[in-house]
Every structure is written in C-alpha cells, then in structure tokens.
Structure 1
Amino acid sequence: MSATRMIVLPHGTRADRDTRPAARVGRVVGSILLVAFALALLTPFFWMVMSSFKGPNEVFSVPVRWLPEVWHVDNYFALWIDTDMAIWLRNTIILSTVVTFLQVLTGSFAAYGFAKVRFPGRDVLFLLYLGTIAVPWQSYMIPQYVMMAQFKLTNTLVAMIVLQAFGAFGVFLMKQFFETIPEELSEAARLDGLGEYSIWARIMLPLAVPALGALALITFVNTWNDYLGPLLYLRDKSIWTVQLGLKNFVANNVTADYSMLFTGLTISVIPIAIIFLLGQRFFVEGIATSGLKG
C-alpha cells in the first residue's frame, strides 16, 4: 500500500505569497513593463533595418513611415558594389578578433597573478592599474599617438592592436572570478608539481569559461564599434574599418543617401547580433558570478 503524504507549508511562505492576487498582479505588471522597455530599445533598431530598404527621400519623411512604400532590396547589392564594404568588414573582423584574443589572454593571465599569486606590493599595484579605468582615453591620446608615430606604427592595424591588447577592465573582471575558485585547487596543483603557468592554463582557464566568454563578448563589441581610434590612426582606405568607411562614404556622397548608410549599418550590426545571441549565456553567467567571492 502506498500512503499519501501531505506537505503543509507554513503560512507566509514564498509559495503562499506567490498565490496571492497582489503577487500575480505584480508579476503581470512587471512583465508588461519589461516588454514595453524591450520594445522601446528595439524600436531604433527596427527603424534602422526598415530604412535600409527605403529610397533616399523616404528615410526622414514627415510623418515617419515605418515601412517602406517600395522595398529597395537592391540597396544591399549597390552598397556592396559601390563601396569597399568587403574590405572594411575584413579589416574590422581581423582587428576585433585579434584584440579580443589578446585581451582575454593578457587579462586572464594578469588576473591570475593578482588573485592567486602573492608578491610584495600586489594590492597596491592592482589598485594603481585599476585606477587607469577612471582616466579617459582622450586625455592621453595625443602623447600615445606621438609614441606610436615614433615607432612608425601609425596608419597600420598593428597600432590599434597594440593599444588595445591590454585592458584594466578585463583584469578586474577575471580577478573577481578567479577569487571565487577555492584556493585548495591551486595548493593541490602545486603539491602535484604544477607550476603557475600550468595551473593557469590547465585549471583556471577551464573553470573560468563564463567570465572568459563575457570578457570576449564585451571586448569584441567595443572594438567592432570603435570609431575614434580608427579615425585617428588609420589613413589608408585599404585598412579602414566598417565604422570609418561608412562615415567617409556618407561624407563624400554629395546626395547624402542615408538609406545606403542604414544599409551599411544593418550589415555591420549582423555579426554583433549573431555573436551576442550565441554568447549571451556566457555573458550573463560571467557577469553574475564575477561579483561573488568565497
């Protein structure tokens, strides 16, 4: 025979509170607000995509036309033929990929040193390094440019890679995550004869996949969307990035065909959207767990 067991929850528990009408109404209102907020964020993106299919005189029409009267799909073919969009995309992909790889590599390695290795002045050095986040790039970009010019690295993608290969934010993010990993793992690995390089590569990195994914996503998006850096260092058209190429395309176009600009912007957003959709789980998990300790 089987006995039926009844579980009685004490009054005032979470399950009891969730069945109250006020709780249900609160959840519904919260869901409506979140949907409204999401639609507000997606509206400019929707307008950009729809404008990429409009004619030159329809983009800023009054009143606003959300959908094109005639769908100009040929805008995408015209942009690809009339501009160096393929070259711009190639340069941007190369720059973003290399910078992301170097930031993840250097950031995780430096963070391991600050989190797991004890040496004199470690905390002071970390605070000084972290303080560079508060210094705006515009305040030292001219001395930095002069330094790059002395090394004859201006007008090259190498200059952009060198300047962005290290980042204090990545070190901070990875350090916070490494500190959540029990110290006993490192101590056990040292007793087994592993050196610090091996511990970092064989133990820490596999455990830090969420934080690495979050750092990679943030770095890739920031590098992809960067405009001021390429504007300052890249003069040759053959090494322009997407953002710089599209800006010059519109500036040199006498008729200012903004529908073509939105076409280019839509193309430039597609890789970012794909990468974010694929990596959003790591991004959320990495950001959430990087703030935990112990």
Structure 2
Amino acid sequence: MGNIESFSTLPLQSIIPSYLYKQYSDDEDLQAFVDAFNSITQGYLTWYNQTPLGLYTSPNVTGPLLDWIGNGVYGIPRPVLSTQTSSTIAGYNTAPYNTVPYNGLSHSSSGTAEIASDDIYKRVMTWNLYRGDGQVFNMGWLKNRVNRFLNGANGSDYTVLDSPPSITVSGNVFTITSFQDANFTSLQECLNNGALAFPFQYTFSFVNIGFFNDGGVLWMTAPLNYPTSPAGLSAGSVWYNGGAVSVVPGVTPDPAAPPVFFGTITASGLLALGGGNLPLTNPGSTGQLWNNGGVISIA
C-alpha cells in the first residue's frame, strides 16, 4: 500500500472539468455557462494551492484572513500597539487635597494606541511560534528572537548571526540596544504590552541608537553594528569615526542617485546603503546628506 500523503507529491493542480452532455454541446449559452463554472472552480483550487492556511508568512495571507488564521489556528490575536497610560482617582483619602473635588472621581489617560499592521502581526506570531531556538530561555534565545523580529519582514526567518542586537543584563533587567526605527519601536510596544512570550520574572529597558545633527555634522550616539575603523572596508562604506559618521573614499557618486535626507534615513538604512553616492559638495537642499571630505555632513 502506497503512502497516503507525501510532501514530494504536489496536490491536484487542475480541476476535473465539468462538461455538457452530447445532446447539448451545440448550445453556445450552455457551453459558456460550463466554461465559466470551470474557470471559477479552477480559481478556487489555484487559490487554495497557493494559500496554505497554516503558513501565515505567505504573501497571500493578509487582512481578515490573517486574523482568522492567527486567532483560529494559532490562538494569537492581532496585537494593539499602545503607549497609553491611565490613572483613576476616586474616593476619600486617595489623593492630596485640592487636586480633585472632595470625594470626587477623576479618570485620565495619555498616549496612543493602534492595531498592528500585517507585517508586525506576523513578526509577533513568529516570535511566539518559532521552535528552532529551543524552549529554554537564555541570552542566545533572546538575541535570536529580537534579531528575527527586527529584521524578518512579514515574520520570515532571518540569519540571526548577521547584525545581532546588543543585549545586556543587570539583575532582572534586560537592556536592548538597537538602531532607532519603526520596527524597534514596535518591538518595545509589543514587549511592554505582553504580546511577545517572555519570562514574567524579567523586565526590559531600551536604548535607541540614532543620528543627530551636531552643527551640520552627522553624529551617532554609539557605534553598535557600525565598523569603528575603515580598515578592510570597501570604497563607499560608512563607519563610526568617534561619533561622526564617515565614508571610505574611492567612489565617484552617481548623479542620478536619489538624495538622502537627515530625519528620513535611519542608522541601519545608511549602513546598508553606504555613502558612496552622497554628493561631494554641499547640494544646498536643507537636510540632505553630503560627503564633506570623508565626513558626512547635513546641508
């Protein structure tokens, strides 16, 4: 008896088409109906073949379908990314005098809240469902998950040894240091709101590494994954020069290259892009980055 199921055997790719009985085959209207029926049926089959419902990272799994799979198959609801805090003062002797009316009630809240995008939702699911790191919590487990969340678009796997985050621990507090961008902000919100599985005994603090304008020179608060020496780097690479961000010489900028602006480019984005195509003279466009003798400056 052969195997009932085999991953080496593709599922049925084409439907068994419907057809007209011989005596009706010369009726154009009936034939058009059957052709339309077969086309719709083939569309359903093709969709199911291309959309395995358990594979939430599929580009075909989005929106309400992703919610249905996340909740129905894996039991993980779409998270809310919230920075809201609230406080309630009610009853006698719960607040200093002259802050609320005597024996009154005061409720206040501040911050923002929004539903996570499909991309972040899938990253949350991968954090909670990934089994390759094992089930024992340790520093490697945490670094892999943080790196995968920050870099694995739409919950995809990521080579976690590339550009690992900086994580230190003191007592029961883990400090995560990473480049400041939208993904790192989402990671912080998901951890703070309990959307990501993590031992309850520990807490987090976060350090954002980003750019700032120091009198027209592009500076970074810390090197993190930036090289700290130009030795061995290819022409056009960027490196951390004691705080300033510098470019390895040797590339003639492409005049057709799109401009890069301070406040838009992230530290991780510039590291990946390089500085070889930055203009060699001040472009005169406010906020645009340029290569000022090897040091990246801000117009």
TM (norm. structure 2) is: 0.18
Report the structure, 1 or 2, having the larger strand content. 2
TM (norm. structure 1) is: 0.18
Return the index of the structure with the highest Cα Rg. Answer: 2
Report the structure, 1 or 2, having the larger helix content. 1
